[in-house]
Amino acid sequence: MKNLILLTAFVFGFSAISFAQTEDAKANVTLSSEAQAKLTLEKKSHDFGTIEEGVQATITFTFKNTGNAPLVLNSVKASCGCTTPKWTKEPIAPGEEGVITAIYNSKGRPGNFTKTITVKHNGEGGTEFLTIRGVVNRAAPVVQPTVVSPEQ
């Protein structure tokens, strides 16, 4: 009798857990079909090639909201202070486009560079990474002329 009660309790418990998991799976399907923004970038990286030291190298990344809810860029941060990002601040409606502009200051930074811009948004995935790279040629040193004044 004791074994029968334990077996019944086990079967009942297992059935309840299985049912709860099925209900959770149905809830997830419903959530995924709700309105959601989706950020789709034309490109995720840019190579400036070779630039001269002191140049403000600028690239604009264009993106589109291919979702069915407004897209909001929560933060756009560069990997260092030599790169300044600017971006569309207002919500982007479904089907509309926005931009992220990256400005790299090459002054005092000769050599190869690779910088990352992290874009956090409310859309599918939540985070995108943009990359800029290039080579900065060292600027020629400025030679100050020597002024010799005649003796009096």
Buried b (16+ CB within 10 A) or exposed e, 28-63: eeeeeeeeebbbeeeeeebebeebeeebebebebeb
Q: Would you give the DSSP letter of residue 82?
A: T
Cα first-last separation, the chain? 127
How crowded is residue 123: how many other Cβ atoms within 10 Å of its Cβ? 24
pLDDT in tens, the chain (152 residues): 666 665 566 666 656 565 555 444 444 444 455 889 999 999 999 999 999 999 999 999 999 999 999 999 999 999 999 999 999 999 999 999 999 999 999 999 999 999 999 999 999 999 999 999 999 998 777 777 777 777 75
Catalogue all structural domains in the chain, each as residue range(s) with its CATH number.
39-137 (2.60.40.10)
Distance CA 85, CA 101 (A): 6
- pTM, two decimal places: 0.69
The residue type at 5? I
